[in-house]
Structure 1
Amino acid sequence: MVTEYLGNKLPGKTQFSGRRRTTTRTSGFKSHPDSTGGELKIEEVESILIPKGENVAITFQIPDHNSGDIVAFGGWYSCNNKIKIEVFKGGFGKELHTEPEDNNWSKFGSMATSNTYTNVLQTQVRFTALEDSYLALYEVGCGIVEHKHLEWAKSEKPILLRNMYQFAPESNFYSIEGDVSIELSFDSTQTCNVDIHLKSCNRCARFLPININNERHHLSFSNHCVADHRRPCSHSGFGKLKNIETDEIVQLEYGYQLECRFCKKFEVNAAHNPQRTAAQMKEDGARRRAFELLLTGIFGKSPQLMYREKSGGRELTDDIWLKFEKKCFNCLANLESSKEMHLDHTRPLALLWPLDETATCLCGSCNSQKRDRAPSEFYSEEKLIELSKITGLSLIELKNPSPNLNAVNYLINNLDWLFNSFCQKPELQKIRDGKLTSDLLLKALQKTLNKTDIGKKIDLLKLYRNRD
């Protein structure tokens, strides 16, 4: 089957699906008149030398509040990986902190809807030096949070608040601030200054921290151009930021979205998603199921069935849950049963890795946060070492973001099967919103092949159109 194309050249996203569909959604929100999202400014922050074995403890006291109030704490910090970070959650169910990384900023914090009455919640973050190390802190705070989007979510769509801890501290809009005390176990003597880079949000116009040295070490904005063939990001505002003080243009590798993660969640995603058609809502799920079906076709059996046969009848889900001691590997939340666990591929399904005994036990929030990222793009070095011990995958394997070459080679050597047999399956011939499921699969599959030397020489679309 060859699709006829009329008119102007189509963008890459529609190569498999005909014309781009007409616009069906508007967010109802507009960009801020004082910000394009492409502004940058640099501030100096004082850092202090923590001697080996000493620590800095930050105690947060949430002020008196009512049940149902949103409370939060958090901040940004800069140090190397010779400092151990401990977050004592207090009354918060979950917290988020990114591990320290040399020459980059990290963050910590949480947000939750309180179920207490006028009780003062207290939590603490402690930084302990394993070697002499510098530590810098930026906008550390706590308190009761109020914002029009959060108030709307509480009354209209509470599900949006379930994972709000992941958006601290950039979502911590304090209406009443709590007390923050910083205690040093040593006498402070040696300091120096470090830079923090702040990018504007084109929705709220705030300047929020980003990392320049490692843009994949996310803070307040998500990346814009991640695929190899799109880097460095050349889009103005996304990949080219203008210093508001010097007019210097800073070129980024991956670039950042124009909206901060908070505005992206509420002014873009929350506004757009309810307007999506049923077919649009199912598109990502259809693509994922097609990949799972493809791996079953390549290996002859489903991963669960292969594991059951190899293990003498045991279930993969139960074994992974027990292997990880019934806890989310990332946030250590207790999972009461294997049904509460989200079975993560560890190495992404999008890179053609099957779900097998190397899977990871995650909670729903952490699995959603990890998405289809490779382990090295989500976990710290320390967590990768721990994950290696549990899963049996070597550090080299966990740090290698490459596709499954066995699956790639099989596909390249069996293109007739892929085009004329697999893609013709009834479930892959379903059309949703003008898009053929098999076309969605081939488009995603091409991205995976492009990550390998042998695969980038293959043009699936051209071969598919020219097949007999």
Structure 2
Amino acid sequence: MVRRKTKNITGLSRIEGIPYHNAWVGFICLSCNSLNNIRIGLQLLDPETTYKTVEWKCSKCDYLHSKYSDLPFDYWNEEFTVAESIRTQRFWQAFFRIATEHPESYWKQCNTCGRILPFAAFSKHSRWGPLERQMECRSCKGAINAVLNPKRTKDQLHESSIRRRIADLLLEGENETIDMEDLFKRFDRCCFKTKQPLDSNRRDTWAVDHILPSKWLYPLTKENAALLSTEANNNKRDKWPSEFYTNNELIELAKRTGADLELLSSKTPKINTIINVDKCVGRYLQVRERSHLPKRINELKKILVDYNLVDKLSPGNKKLLGFIK
């Protein structure tokens, strides 16, 4: 059966051909101060190997950034600028380390506006390329969300953000490391929903699905992981299993993963209350000195009440949050 094409309902088109999972490095030319970006692909660089092997040429002035180049600083003494100098080599080591040491050091290209932007310009998307960032920059995402969520007020958007943040804190330390080879074997190297063959080496084509969504406080475990194509996973998002999978698929999913079929087939979402709520309280209240502490306490209390988790608190935390005197 021919699969339906994804329908764009936002009116904001993607730019075809942009390798949106790829990472880029960014650096300011030492000679002319121009910003340069170089696409490096799906594998982040090792700082020491980069220092020893790469040559980055400025796109404007052609200055070669390499351990073999003299530094172009005329106002520095020669012992600090000649390539053979230990001082110069220490400079080059730090130069390449700054550009490659952490994921936050890298850049990414937005597949909506086409700009190459720093790491911080993109929101997190777990297991989504080497940088685990979304395809669209935060500016474009704001425009897209204005179409997808036209009726959501500022307060509703804020509350949704809080719920996600607290859910992440609740699950911190609960998620298991998934054995990807085992996952591919269990699902016959195919998307469970579409049966599309998947290649584990093509990381942008597949995703690990939280069968029971983290939104409802279910951690990622072997029993709660399914293999989906990227497109199928985007369609599922935070849907409860029975909203996305057919009855036969739910039965097969339970057989393959060992998950609770009754829970999977429930018509309404059920919150996972088997979780260490006290740890969440401790993490959530680790605030900066200038944070609005009363506001954070009220946010946390509202979620705990809405999720019926107050009884899971220790007497000390109940008293700390004002649930008991």
Output the TM-score relative to the length of structure 2: 0.43
User: Relative contact order (C-alpha < 8 Å, sep 6+): which is higher?
Assistant: 1
TM-score normalized by structure 1?
0.32
Q: Write 1 or 2 for the structure with the bigger share of strand.
A: 1
- More helix by percentage: 2
